[in-house]
Amino acid sequence: MLRRILVSLGQFAITVLVATMIVFLLLRVMPGDPAVVALGINATPDALDAWRHEHGTDRPLWLQYLEWMGGLVTGDFGTSYVTSQELTPLIADRVQVTLILVGCAMLLALVIAVPIGTLAAVRHRDAAGAVLSGASQIGVAIPNFLVGVLLIAFFSVRLGWFPSGGWVAPAEDVGAFLQRLVLPVIALGSVQAAIITRYVRSAVLEIMREDFLRTGRAKGLTFGGALVRHGLRNAGVPVITIVGVQLAALLIGAVVIERVFAIPGLGSLLVDSVANRDLLAVQAVVVVLVLLVVLLNLIVDVVYALVDPRLRREAA
């Protein structure tokens, strides 16, 4: 168990290191001089030079990279080229927003997917099951942003029930916060629900054929009782794996959904920063995303081991 976690941590460190290098280099080969973008078409050559000097973009790449890494280790992402804002507090703000969005979306996805997936498995021989898995199949194929746009068209524009976008921090006004949360969470969560439903269904189908379920029933449990007492825990292992993977996918989906709903999260920051060649801000966002994804995998690994005693023994 411990070794397993240590190995994961090692992989974690290497992944992050490699990711920082790739991100750093990719951004440097991208066309577009950040100084010109920051100062615009009216900038004088002197101003451009001064800007490059001030922001260090005229220095050797390896030096820029080392400086940046030095900052990262101490949790300092540097200062935005364009807004002159400290990036660390800014990123902290944005991460909160994105995590709330992703967390709620996953919660919604699970609330929908677990019962429906189970139902689809249990009723896999009749029409209800077919309808449910057909519906989830369609859900999987619809992109998040399309759901978002449709939701806005219907619930904000047509019915006027919800704002079409924007964000209010929960600490500021809980009602307004929830109001703005609903549509993006549904947009993100419903597609996830469809995906996870399919995994839940196949996981439950799998265990329905297992002996322990039959044994459970032989001992007098109802089918549902046996499923809940013995089955779901077993079905949980593959579902947890997929939840981990899908959380990563949700983070990426959030980048798009934040754009659709004008939500100031990591995604919006990423898109704006790329357009403005605000390289340090892009680097910061990407590193945070990488960290989150890798961290998720680490957590899934650990949870996985905790849920499935066989893995614990194996590793010991």
Partner 1 sequence: MTAHRRIVRTVALAAASTLALAGCTAGSTSDDEAKTGVVVGLTGEPANLDFTTTAGSAIPQVLMNNVYEGLVKIDQEGRIQPLLATDWQVSDDRTTYVFELADGVTFSNGDEFTADDVAFSIDRVKNDWTLSLKAQMDVVDRVEVVSDTEVRVVLGRPSNSWLFAMGTSVGAMFSEGGVDALATDPVGTGPFTVEEFVQGDRIELAARDDYWGEAPGIESATVRYFADAVAQTNALRAGDIDMAWNMQAPDLVSQFEAEDFQVIDGTSTGEILLSMNNRVAPFDDVRVRQAVAYALDRQAILDAAWGGYGTLIGAMVPPTDPYYEDLTGEYPYDPERAKALLAEAGAEGVSVTFDVPTRPYANAVSEIVVDQLAAVGIDATIRSAEFPAVWLDRVFTKHDFEMSVILATEARDFATVFNDPDYYIGYDNTRIAPIIAAADQGTEEEFVDGMKEAVRIVTEDAAAVPLFLFPNLVVADAGLTGIAGNAVTESMDLTGLSWAD
275 contributes a contact to partner 1 by CB under 8 A: yes
Q: Which residue has the tokens 């039959």?
A: 214
Cβ–Cβ < 8 Å for 19, 292: no
Q: For the CB of residue 220, give the shortest distance to partner 1 in the complex, in Å.
A: 14
202 contributes a contact to partner 1 by CB under 8 A: no
Q: Which residues ranging from 289 to 308 are in contact with partner 1 (CB under 8 A)?
A: none
Q: For the CB of residue 271, give the shortest distance to partner 1 in the complex, in Å.
A: 8
Q: How far separated are the first and last CA of the chain, in Å rounded?
A: 6
DSSP class of residue 86 equals B
Phi/psi at 270 (nearest 5 deg)? -60, -50
268 contributes a contact to partner 1 by CB under 8 A: yes
Structure tokens at 166: 């924007």
Q: For the CB of residue 179, give the shortest distance to partner 1 in the complex, in Å.
A: 5
Q: Which residues ranging from 213 to 232 are in contact with partner 1 (CB under 8 A)?
A: 222-225, 227
Cα separation, 193 vs 100, in Å, equals 17
Mapping DSSP to helix (H, G, I), strand (E, B) and coil, where does residue 129 land? helix
By C-beta, is 7 or 130 nearer to partner 1? 130
153 contributes a contact to partner 1 by CB under 8 A: yes
What number of chain residues touch partner 1 (CB under 8 A)? Answer: 67
By C-beta, is 160 or 309 nearer to partner 1? 160
By C-beta, is 11 or 96 nearer to partner 1? 96
Q: For the CB of residue 239, give the shortest distance to partner 1 in the complex, in Å.
A: 16
Cβ–Cβ < 8 Å for 56, 64: yes
Please identify which residue in 79, 88, 96, 179 interacts with partner 1, judged by CB under 8 A. 179
By C-beta, is 4 or 52 nearer to partner 1? 52
Contact map string, positions 98 to 137, toward partner 1, x by CB under 8 A: ----------x--xx--xx-xx--xx--------------
Cα separation, 250 vs 76, in Å, equals 26
Structure tokens at 39: 């100062």
Q: Which residues ranging from 9 to 68 are in contact with partner 1 (CB under 8 A)?
A: 30-33, 36-44, 47, 50-51
Q: For the CB of residue 61, give the shortest distance to partner 1 in the complex, in Å.
A: 18
Q: Is the dihedral of CA 126, 127, 132, 133 positive or negative?
A: positive
The amino acid that residue 236 corresponds to is G
Q: Which residues ranging from 158 to 177 are in contact with partner 1 (CB under 8 A)?
A: 160-167, 175-176
Phi/psi at 149 (nearest 5 deg)? -65, -40
Instruction: State the burial class of residue 183 (Cβ atoms within 10 Å of its Cβ: 0-12, 13-18, 19+).
Output: buried
Cα separation, 107 vs 31, in Å, equals 40
Q: For the CB of residue 134, give the shortest distance to partner 1 in the complex, in Å.
A: 16
DSSP class of residue 165 equals S
Cβ–Cβ < 8 Å for 271, 259: yes
Q: Which of 197, 167, 170 is nearest to 184 (CA)?
A: 167
The residues of the shown chain that bind partner 1, judged by CB under 8 A, are 30-33, 36-44, 47, 50-51, 80, 82-85, 90, 94, 108, 111-112, 115-116, 118-119, 122-123, 149, 152-153, 156-157, 160-167, 175-176, 178-179, 182, 222-225, 227, 259-260, 262, 264, 268-269, 271-272, 275-278
